[in-house]
Amino acid sequence: MTVIGNEKVRKALRYAIPFGLIPATVALSATAFGEKRYLILSLGIAVMAIMLFMAGIEKKNIGSRRMVMVAVMTALAVIGRFIPLFKPITALCVMAAMYLGAEAGFLCGALSVLISNIYFGQGPWTPFQMLGFGLIGLFAGYLSKPLLKSRVLLVGYGVIAGIAYSMMMDVWTVLWYNGSLDGSLYLTAIVSALPYTVLYAVSNVGFLLLLRKPMGEKLGRIKLKYGV
């Protein structure tokens, strides 16, 4: 966050957002607003969470080689979103995370959504999608050792990621429509989104199995050759 020049202010913000600003937003919306607007609350927190992650990445020294590789993976994910029905975006984020680290996974997920939404339409759903795919990439990065070893775990991760993403976006749909999370509406949303959930899970698993070997070889080779 170079927009804030002072190092001390930056450091203060890094602690103020998670420990001060986010709880304050929650408390304010729970008490001050008569009608509880969970949508605006969750939107604000999603944006703050993304900013926190990005600020953390900004601070870290990733190295320009790794950054270029993240850009390549992001571009592939953006192009992949143009494939009708089956989207390889999760698979590509997971691959990026496994070979280039958790931050790379987060960036690949979040930024590919941001870029592809220039074509598909930006909206209040953008932060949620960014956070959703970003977290899928981040966790894949933390679990990279077992995921690299076992194919079964990788398939499991793909299925869970698809279901979790779909359910998270259903929360968003209900919040957008209703303002608060209504149980029966949420159930309706989950049921009506079931075909998409299945589609996500199937395409995640399919692309992960398809890309695991060839993509892994390429990324591994580049890592070995240039010491990324």
Partner 1 sequence: MREFTDGNPIAVAVYYLCVTVITMFTMNPIVILISLVASAVNYALYAKGGIRPHLFSIALFLILAVINPLINHNGMTVLFYLNERPITMEAALYGITAAGMTVAALYWLRAFGKAMTADKLLYLFGRLSPKISLILSMAIRYVELMRNRWRKIQTAQKALGLYDDGNLIDAMRGRARVLSILISWVLENGIITAESMEARGYGSGRRSSFRLFRFRGRDLLIIAVSIALATVGIVGLSYASIDWYPAIKTNLDAPISIIGYIGFGILAILPTIINTKEAIRWRYLISES
State the Cα–Cα distance between residues 175 and 42, nearest whole angstrom: 9
State the Cα–Cα distance between residues 8 and 13, nearest whole angstrom: 9
Both tokens of 74, joined, read: 């992001």
Binding of partner 1 by 171 (CB under 8 A): no
Amino acid at 27: A
CA 19 to chain centroid, in Å, comes to 22
DSSP states of 109-144: HHHHHHHHHHHH---THHHHHHHHHHHHHHHHHHTH
In this chain, which stretch among 75-83, 134-142, 151-159, 162-170 interacts with partner 1, using CB under 8 A? 75-83
Question: Residues 98-117: x/- map of binding to partner 1 (CB under 8 A)?
Answer: ---------x---xx-xx--
Q: How far is the CB of 169 from partner 1 (least distance, A)?
A: 16
Binding of partner 1 by 7 (CB under 8 A): no
CA 165 to chain centroid, in Å, comes to 9
Binding of partner 1 by 48 (CB under 8 A): no
The burial class, CB within 10 Å (0-12 / 13-18 / 19+), for 52 is middle
The burial class, CB within 10 Å (0-12 / 13-18 / 19+), for 106 is buried
In this chain, which stretch among 15-23, 70-78, 136-144, 195-203 interacts with partner 1, using CB under 8 A? 70-78
Binding of partner 1 by 31 (CB under 8 A): no
Among 48, 72, 159, 181, binds partner 1 (CB under 8 A): 72
Among 7, 8, 118, 152, binds partner 1 (CB under 8 A): 118
Chain residues in the site for partner 1 (CB under 8 A): 1-3, 34-35, 37, 39-40, 43, 54-55, 57-58, 62, 64-65, 67-72, 74-76, 78-79, 107, 111-112, 114-115, 118, 121-124, 176-179, 184-185, 188, 214-215, 218-219, 222, 226
